Amino acid sequence: LEAQFAQSQKMQAVGQLAGGVAHDFNNLLTAIIGFSDLLLLKHKPGDPSFSELMQIKQNANRAAGLTRQLLAFSRQQTLRPQVLELPLIIDDLSVLFKRIIGDRITLDVEHGRSIWPVRADLVQLEQVIINLVVNARDAMPEGGSITIRTDNVSAAEAARFNFEGFVPADYVLIEVEDTGTGMPPEVLAKIFEPFFTTKELGKGTGLGLSTVYGIIKQTEGFIYPISVVGAGTTFKIFLPRYAQVAAEPAGKAAAPVKDLT
Ligand code: ADP
């Protein structure tokens, strides 16, 4: 698993490089799409070149879609960290989750008691949980169940799951468990690599989990997948507990809240 994380970090760097290329690429694609539009205006739908031109345009559009995703994945988005209550965020998303998973999959949400706050970017954190729920759904074409759990995890307990330069701290755990296909070790070893997908063309981009990985890293948390072929998969996400900055002694102005990012 350690090797898996080292590999994923390397791939993340590659992904970021690709993001720079994607930006220039997008400009070129805009020109291709623009010029094919111009040419299409000079041809009638029955003309022999019309359908070929349409092909050029459609495929350039697809490529543009892909570069947009690549950009979203690699862009250094401005983070707006705020103190968040995970159970509230998950409950707010449950209507969306039900729409994502459909009728054949059941969703259970189990929150621990008095879950500690975390400090993270709300939009990014939502994206993490949504990506995991979408993957869980895709792993259960015949139906099944998804369980989302939150819990407080002590520093000692969290250490059992962390392999990357562990700094002892309390964490809040979000767990997304499914009863789907599970993954063999050779797939599990690659899931955080950008563009790694086992889904058919057009269904998966392979950017979901590498995005999740990047966001969790930025939030100074970590992610731990467990998967059993034929039984299902659980993603454990650990986010550092947000601890209130101690109040300044009387007489002094209150210190601004420390930026933990
Ligand atoms: P994508 O969903 O576009 O394929 P991801 O990066 O989100 O990209 O996932 C990469 C791969 O990891 C998936 O193609 C799939 O093989 C595997 N995977 C992710 N989540 C699960 C899951 N819950 N159950 C089984 N396989 C999964």
* Burial grade of 218 (CB within 10 A; 0-12, 13-18, 19 or more): middle
Q: How many CB atoms lie within 10 A of CB 131?
A: 19
DSSP state of 107: E
Place of tokens 């899931």: 191
Q: Which pairing describes strands 232-240 and 171-178: parallel, antiparallel, or unpaired?
A: antiparallel
Q: Is 187 in the pocket of ligand 1 (CB under 6 A)?
A: yes
Which amino acid makes up residue 80? R
The pTM assigned to this predicted structure is 0.73
- Ligand 1 touching residue 183 (CB < 6 A): yes
What is the end-to-end Cα distance of the chain in Å, rounded?
Answer: 26
**At residue 132, does pLDDT exceed 90?**
yes
Q: Cβ(225) to ligand 1 under 6 A?
A: no
Q: Select the more confidently predicted residue: 70 or 188.
A: 188
pLDDT for residue 144 is more than 80: yes
pLDDT single digits (tens) 202-239: 678 888 898 898 889 888 899 999 999 999 999 999 99
Asked whether the predicted pLDDT for residue 141 surpasses 50, the reply is yes
Q: Which of 105, 191, 226 to mutate to test the pocket of ligand 1 (most atoms within 8 A of CB)?
A: 191
Query: What is the structure's pLDDT at 78?
Result: 60
Mean pLDDT, residues 9-32 taken together:
73
Q: What is the pLDDT of residue 12?
A: 63
Query: Among the atoms of ligand 1, which is closest to the Cα of residue 192?
Result: 6
**CA distance linking residue 208 with residue 205, whole number of Å:** 7
Q: Which ligand 1 atom is the nearest neighbour of the CA of 176? A: 23
Q: Is 208 in the pocket of ligand 1 (CB under 6 A)?
A: yes
Q: Is residue 79 pLDDT above 90, yes or no? A: no
What average pLDDT score do residues 36-51 get? 89
pLDDT in tens, 145-165: 999 999 999 988 888 887 666
Which string of DSSP letters, residue by residue, matches 232-260? EEEEEEEEEBP-PPPPPPTTSPPPPPP--
* Distance from the alpha carbon of residue 197 to the mean position of ligand 1, in angstroms: 6
